[in-house]
Amino acid sequence: MPDDMARPLIRERAGGSRHLEASMMTPSTLLIGILGTGDFSRSLARRLVASGYQVVVGSRTPARFTALFPEEAEVTSQMEAANQADLLFVAVYPEHHSTLVHLKPALAGKTLVDVSNGLQIKQEGPSNAQQLADLFPESYVVKGFNTISAWTLQAGPRDGSRQVFLCSDDQNAKSSVMQLCLRMGFIPVDMGLLSSSLEIENLPLYLFPSWRAPIICALALFVFFYLYNSVRDVLHPYVTAKKNNLYKLPIEIVNITFPCVALVMLSLVYLPGLIAAFLQLWWGTKYNRFPNWLDHWLIQRKQFGLCSFLCAVLHAIYSLCLPMRKSARFQLINKAYEQVNAGHPDSWVGEEVWRMELYLSVGIMALGLLSLLAVTSLPSVANTVNWREFTFVQSTLGYCALSMATLHTLIFGWNRAFLSAQYYFYMPPTFLLVLILPLAVLLGRVALFLPCVGHRLGQIRRGWEKSRHIRFILPDDDCRNGLENVSNV
């Protein structure tokens, strides 16, 4: 009977008590093992030693790699490292995981941290960590540290990303690795069970996924407007007057193209918000999901805005370089000789002077507002402002920047839209094509400012639905006099 009472009700897995003890150890007593001797292993060993941990490195040829690791780290055989360590990092390529099978008895009941990455993005499992867990069923596999580079480990978290994504089927193992992350100066992010390891392994393989559509759109717009401007300013003079204007292609045509792309891309930042607002007004509710294309568009507005800012900055730089060209100097000298020979030394035209002064002033203000938007979009700056301040800058000042940029283009066009001589090959001036989208966006924003539209949109975004009406009677009191009140929710 006493023996039955002393017997535990739930049997632990092999090494379970040791696993619990390892999670309760302090950094000075916890022995960390590293299986592998590559660049990542060396940087990891240095970081662990600097964080106060005891480190043992397992290698197939210890004598060959001893000099590459810190003196405080012991470099020994894989079997000895597996026997000594309480927690081990598996820093070998996933295709070599099978070479560690002979360590299975020594690794039973211990935590294994898989730091491997795949060669390409996988849509379906199993992941490297899941395959490692299948090879070592008696160990506790944790996926993590695969998004941290060897340089970040060596230089410290201050010079790189501080987040470490972790997932595991064992909570104690994951907690011990989280404590290790904090001790090393990183921020652990719990991604749940080991089934999330495929997503974590794909993270380092993505190549600017949120930038793909904005960059493709910017390049497509650049090619279109560059070819359009080339036809008007290079091909047309050659066909009609045999005049060679090819010298305009490197700088002048590029300088005309960049502001076109910048203004259209800036309009594309605020167009999806307007589409979403009018869809909510049409549906009469905010609880319908937007189409997938609109969801992705809304998410990528920041990238569209930064592409617009880049084009605007390049336009400003190219504009400053225009007077430095030899062609500009020759044109200026020729113009001066023509005026002197014609007997009109005074070339002052008040209308053109005013147009250029306004054109430059409004352009500078537009670029300044765009710079403010770009700076505010930085995470380090956005984290220092509250939501109201952020929306004021990105929405209110953003529409001001769009208005200034549109006015900048309108002043540039001036009265050229009404001159038939400006329609080369019956093609309208470029600025007319560019103004279509920003003017449509600004008109849509003005429509949302109308009281009847803005009030209804505000109700919808606070939960009101067109198809649902709730009638209720307020409780009797002296203020309400028991009158019935009808409200839409």
The pLDDT profile of the chain, 489 residues, written as one tens digit per residue, is: 444 444 444 334 444 444 545 555 555 568 999 999 999 999 999 999 999 999 999 999 998 999 999 999 999 999 999 999 999 999 999 999 999 999 999 999 999 999 999 888 888 889 999 999 999 999 999 999 999 988 888 877 665 568 899 999 999 999 999 999 999 989 999 999 999 999 999 999 988 889 999 999 999 999 999 999 999 999 999 999 999 999 999 999 999 999 999 999 999 999 999 999 999 999 999 999 999 999 999 999 999 999 999 999 999 999 999 888 888 777 777 777 777 677 666 667 778 889 899 999 999 999 999 999 999 998 888 889 899 999 999 999 999 999 999 999 999 998 888 888 899 999 999 999 999 999 999 999 999 999 999 999 999 998 888 877 544 454 555 544 443 333 333
The three-state secondary structure class of 287 is coil
SS3 188: strand
- pTM for this prediction: 0.77
Contacts of 53 (CB under 8 A, 6+ apart): 27, 30, 31, 32, 180, 183
Domain 211-462 has CATH 1.10.287: no
Q: Can you give the pLDDT at residue 123?
A: 86
Q: What is the DSSP string of 37-94?
A: -SHHHHHHHHHHHHTT-EEEEEESSHHHHGGGS-TTSEEEEHHHHHHH-SEEEE-S-G
B/e letters for 284-303, b = 16+ CB within 10 Å, e = fewer, are: eebeeeeeeeeeebeebbbb
Whether 314 and 259 have beta carbons less than 8 Å apart is answered as no
- One of 1.10.540.10, 3.90.79.10, 3.40.50.720, 3.40.630.10 is the CATH number of 31-205, namely 3.40.50.720
Question: b or e along 327-354 (b: 16 or more beta carbons within 10 Å of the residue's beta carbon)?
Answer: eeeeeeeeeeeeeeeeeeeeeeeeeeee
Question: Any bridge partners for residue 77, and if so which?
Answer: 59
**Which tokens sit at 260?**
């076109």
* pLDDT at residue 26, rounded to an integer: 57
- What's residue 207's pLDDT? 86
414-418: Cβ within 8 A, 24+ apart: 414/355
**What pLDDT, on the 0 to 100 scale, is given for residue 208?**
87
CB atoms within 10 A of CB 326: 8
User: How is the chain split into domains, by residue range?
Assistant: 31-205, 211-462
Contact call for residues 348 and 306 (beta carbons, < 8 A): no
